Structure 1
């Protein structure tokens, strides 16, 4: 599965522009007073202005799997990286054969850079924002995760991610190149104490050669 486009809300367009364009160095696709779009590798990332709420999302950037430490140092020179356990800022997902690190954007969204060692995406170019491969994960939140899982599987033909067993409050759908992270409402977004809550979002993705769209209504 490939995540082609993501649309999210923000109540701070100017701050969001500054974070993603200047701090992360993402290419700007388009911009006006109500929205801004960036190229996060192969994924189009759009933030739309909303003055009614301050949403918090979780999503992940795939990075070249030979540049985890280089990416870590590059991001750490620009913003604070979160601890995943005391005195350690790199998460080791052994079942997924992947490692990652986390940080906040200007909105308080929980961002992740993840190196998946099963994928062929090595790079010899010095790491910067243009090195991001794609957005490979986006979190969806529901009171009943199993029900949401069944609905998405039935409607879109999504597979349960083979490397992650289904849990009561946490289910992952998709493939290594693109994943939907289904979290129960009120569950902590790892590695923070921020409680998962559903907010409006729109995702365009491709699976089995078919492009489809999910719009989440909070």
Structure 2
């Protein structure tokens, strides 16, 4: 499964738009009134202004596995790295991945993740061209069973045939070799590397297997 485009709805639109264009250096793919789309490797990130339903989201971007430390330096020169129990880096040993986190001006919890399944870069210094694709998107819901069925009906399997968890834990949908997941979270679960708790929010995820919208 691949994420072609992610659309999120933010209240702090102008500052968030400026952040991704000027601070993160993403290229503008298209723009219209109150909406802008950025190129993130092979994916698109669309930010829509929405004052009344503004929320926050968690999403991740794949980067080459050999450039995490260089990416940490690059990112820390632009934004404050998020911390968890005194650490600024997560080590997901079972998933064979490491990640760093930050928040954008709208409070979105953004992760740069270096997976063993991603292609190794030939260069030793990280720059914006090393954003490979949007690799994770979190959806919080009180209807986990229904959303899980919707994803599976589109041919997006639960990761590694894991059992679906209805409370407290995260559910990852997608194939390990692709390194791309839709994360179904119960409402109220804290997103790591933040003090924010998952809540329902409008979102559109366009994948190569169909569109998920809530």
Q: TM-score, normalised by structure 2?
A: 0.92
**Unmatched tracts of structure 2, length 5 or more:** none
- Residue 6 (1) aligns with residue 21 (2): no
3-state secondary structure, aligned to 2:174? strand
- Aligned pairs, number: 210
1:126-165 alignment to 2 at 5 Å?
126-153=125-152, 155-162=153-160
Q: Quote the residue 2:19 is aligned against.
A: 19
Q: Could you list the per-position Cα deviations for residues 30-49 of structure 1 after superposition, in whole angstroms to 9, with x for gaps in the alignment?
A: 22331011001110110111
1:18-167 alignment to 2 at 5 Å?
18-86=18-86, 88-124=87-123, 126-153=125-152, 155-162=153-160, 166-167=164-165
3-state secondary structure, aligned to 2:159? coil
Q: Quote the residue 2:194 is aligned against.
A: 192
Give the Cα–Cα distance (whole angstroms) in 1 for the partners of residues 104 and 161 of structure 2: 28
Give the Cα–Cα distance (whole angstroms) in 1 for the partners of residues 194 and 144 of structure 2: 20
Q: Could you list the per-position Cα deviations for residues 52-110 of structure 1 after superposition, in whole angstroms to 9, with x for gaps in the alignment?
A: 13211000000011100000110011111011222x11100011000001100010000
Give the Cα–Cα distance (whole angstroms) in 1 for the partners of residues 15 and 198 of structure 2: 23
3-state secondary structure, aligned to 2:19? helix
Q: Quote the residue 1:202 is aligned against.
A: 204
Give the stretch that moved more between structures: 128-137 or 166-175: 166-175
> Residue 183 of structure 1: which of 182, 185, 193 is its match?
185
After TM superposition, which residue ranges in structure 1, 4 or more long, deviate above 4 angstroms?
163-166
Q: Quote the residue 1:213 is aligned against.
A: 211
Quote the RMSD (CA, aligned, Å). 1.7
**Unmatched tracts of structure 1, length 5 or more:** none
